[in-house]
Chains A and B, each alone.
Chain A
Amino acid sequence: MEVKYAIYPSLLDAFLRFKRRDDDETFLSLFDKINKVPGEQTEHQLKGIEFEQCVNDLITGHKTGDFSFTLIQNGFYETKNFKFKADVVDKIANKLQYATKQQEYIEAIIPTTVGNIKLYGIVDFSFPEMIVDLKGTSNYKCNKYKDNTQHSTYSLVRNLNGSPIKAFKYIVSDYNKVYQETYIPNDTLHQKLMFTVLEFVSFIEYFKNHITDTKIFGEA
């Protein structure tokens, strides 16, 4: 099936941030993301990545006995560049230990009036009736991810693939505490997502001359 547009949630999130003019998402930074221009990794991003790796390592380590790069030191797990509170990591790993898949690639192709649109992405933790996305953030506030498109996108993809979920959860840590946000997928959520997708398609068509990486147009 010919794919005219290939879109993943973080691009939609960047587009929505640009429209809201928040988080310093500019016209240029949005196109840098679309064009996959490599940017410098911030310490904040690196910390989030190593935190997720630490949790993943702990979960898989229980199964394989291999705790490759985390060490327990005075109540902390030490990764390459950071130390994380062991009780925080343990709590999250404990919740997620029965995930049926980790880092699972999923996609679905949706026929629309503007052509076939592929929605795709990588799911952190899959369960039979739930998806969990793990997030590390230095500054958490309640319902921080309510406008994210991950929960609407991945729940729609799972629907279309015949394995619908009952809930999408964000498990979030500010490295001291653990928080949880739960979103229940429904038709309204998916409809709103498709309006965003269609507006984003109009946007990339209108500013096509700014796009250098054509993967978004379904080209490999």
Chain B
Amino acid sequence: MGQSKEAFMEMRESENNKFEQYDTPKKLNLFLQPVEETSVYPIESKTLLTTEKSDLSEIASQIVEAVDDGFADPLDTYIMAKKGSYVFDSIVEAMKGKAKIPEGKNYAKHGCEIREGATGVRYYFESCNDPIWNELNMQMVALKEKLSEREKWLKGFTKTTEVEEIADTDTGEIIQDKRTIHAPVKMGGQSLILTLK
């Protein structure tokens, strides 16, 4: 029995060596299946127009599944999706005001319900001719500008710094006491920033 086990092990090792001579062992996913390097999922516009929502969900799900199961490269898939977003987002934006439905009716086409409705409602006060609102709005613009200038100045501090008192140049009056300025705290989440070139 022991002898046959050794023989089996030798045979398997020999087979593996043979295999390695012909092919580099592929990286396996959690299903112990070889990982493909790239994924390509062509989406044809002629089918996209008539595809149902469940099919679209399935397409997206299959692509994500392929990544999650290690068949597809996550970065390639991300790049593919960002490029797709760029194309389709640009088209959607450009169709604003051009794509129309029969007047005053809810409309259904290609598995989509389409209706006209208010989106992104915003009030515009510029035309009210209210001097108080105009004044406040401009004070806000001026204040934002001042704030921006001050923030630019504060960004110049990279460490805690003692700052001398500031006196009014005309009267000599101290308008800002000597104080300690701490460097601004810079925080932010980490995510991939992709720029199409």
Contact = CB atoms under 8 A, between A and B. Distances in A.
Interface stretch (B23-31, B66-74, B93-101, B180-188): B93-101
Interface string A190-220: 0110111011001100110000000000000
A194 B127 contact: yes
Nearest to B135: A206
B134 A202 contact: yes
Contact of B137 (A114, A199, A207): A199
B127 A202 contact: no
Contacts of A142: 86, 89-90, 93-94
Contact of B126 (A27, A182, A183, A199): A199
Contacts of B127: 113, 194-195, 198
A113 B138 contact: no
A114 B128 CA distance: 11
A101 interface: no
A196 B90 CA distance: 25
Interface stretch (B11-19, B108-116, B141-149): B141-149
A86 B148 CA distance: 46
B97 A198 contact: no
A12 B117 CA distance: 29
Interface residues of A, number: 25
A141 B87 CA distance: 10
B22 interface: no
**Which residue, A21, A192, A195, A199, has most C-beta atoms of chain B within 10 A?**
A199
A163 interface: no
Contacts of B94: 142-143, 181-182
Nearest to A202: B134
A46 interface: no
B57 to A, nearest CB: 26
**Which residue, A113, A184, A198, has most C-beta atoms of chain B within 10 A?**
A198
Contact of A184 (B90, B97, B124, B137): B97
A191 B124 CA distance: 10
Given A198-B126, A198-B127, A199-B126, A146 B93 contact: yes
B93 A143 contact: yes
A186 interface: yes
Given A142-B94, A184-B97, A206 B142 contact: yes
A21 B148 contact: yes
B129 interface: yes
B138 A202 contact: yes
B90 A143 contact: yes
Contacts of B135: 206
A114 B97 contact: no
A186 B97 contact: yes
A203 B141 contact: yes
A195 B93 contact: no
Nearest to B131: A202
Interface string A159-175: 00000000000000000
Contacts of B137: 199, 202
Interface of A: 19, 21, 27, 113-114, 141-143, 146, 181-184, 186, 191-192, 194-196, 198-199, 202-203, 206-207
